[in-house]
């Protein structure tokens, strides 16, 4: 299983697109935080926080993560190596989990450099260090969980097609729907008393909760359950090839 994880990570980092995706992510976040004027610009706001990162990152992740995960199973299906992979001494769920861990590791690689932005704002505070460190840590946990769910969605989308472009489009749509779709549906007048329940089915409700710096077990359970659901769906899609 570790061999498969290392193979996927090396394959991604060994291609130009891997670095392009990470550079685009960091550049987009950097421009929004430091260059482009507006509500996300740290210098314009005059407050020592990096809330802009946690506001912009989910929308960037919505395209970044599918770009990372679109090839995980789709490329295997296109080249026919999926059959060879299934003959390995690994269960279907172990294969899915290995692909997922590799995808999450790559997302983590892209997120770690953003600590430079945190350090910059930490130094710019008046006095130095005048930033809510606890709240920032909680927000980072929320972003990690959100990225984890997006990876699980991306892995699932890659498992149902042999075309990477289709995998990317499906993953972007599912990420968008799971992030804000339920919230939009709950705002309709047709559901009445159950609108709050529908809202809590969406990622954004739980992400915003964790971004306040409070690690609520209900939010953690939601993220873990959603990840498991999409990994289970991926396993089912993978197992269906044997039927």
Average pLDDT per block of 10 residues along the chain, 243 residues long: 76 75 83 76 70 84 89 81 74 88 88 85 74 80 92 93 91 92 75 73 85 81 94 88 59
pLDDT of residue 168: 93
pLDDT of residue 192: 64
pLDDT of residue 191: 63
Report CA dihedral (90, 109, 60, 139) to the nearest 10 degrees.
100
Predicted model pTM: 0.89
The neighbour count for residue 116, using CB atoms within 10 Å, is 11
Q: CB of 26 within 8 A of CB of 114?
A: yes
pLDDT of residue 127: 74
């Amino acid at each position: 299983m570790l061999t498969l994880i290392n193979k996927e990570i090396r394959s991604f980092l060994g291609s130009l697109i891997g670095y392009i995706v990470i550079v685009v992510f960091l550049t987009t976040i950097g421009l929004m935080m430091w260059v482009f004027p507006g509500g996300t610009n740290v210098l314009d706001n005059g407050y020592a926080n990096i809330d802009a990162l946690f506001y912009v990152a989910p929308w960037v992740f919505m395209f970044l993560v599918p770009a990372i995960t679109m090839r995980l199973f789709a490329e295997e299906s296109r080249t026919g190596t999926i059959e060879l992979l299934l003959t390995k001494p690994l269960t279907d769920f172990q294969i899915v989990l290995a692909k997922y861990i590799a995808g999450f590791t790559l997302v983590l690689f892209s997120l770690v450099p953003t600590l430079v932005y945190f350090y910059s704002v930490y130094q710019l505070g008046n006095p130095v260090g005048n930033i809510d460190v606890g709240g920032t840590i909680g927000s980072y946990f929320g972003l990690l969980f959100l990225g984890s769910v997006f990876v699980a969605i991306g892995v699932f989308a890659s498992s149902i097609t042999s075309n990477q472009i289709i995998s990317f489009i499906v993953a972007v749509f599912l990420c968008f729907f799971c992030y804000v779709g339920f919230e939009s549906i709950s705002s309709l007048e047709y559901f009445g008393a159950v609108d709050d329940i529908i809202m809590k089915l969406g990622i954004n409700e739980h992400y915003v909760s964790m971004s306040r710096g409070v690690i609520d077990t209900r939010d953690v359970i939601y993220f873990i359950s959603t990840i498991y659901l999409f990994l289970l769906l991926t396993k089912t899609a993978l197992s269906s090839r044997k039927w």
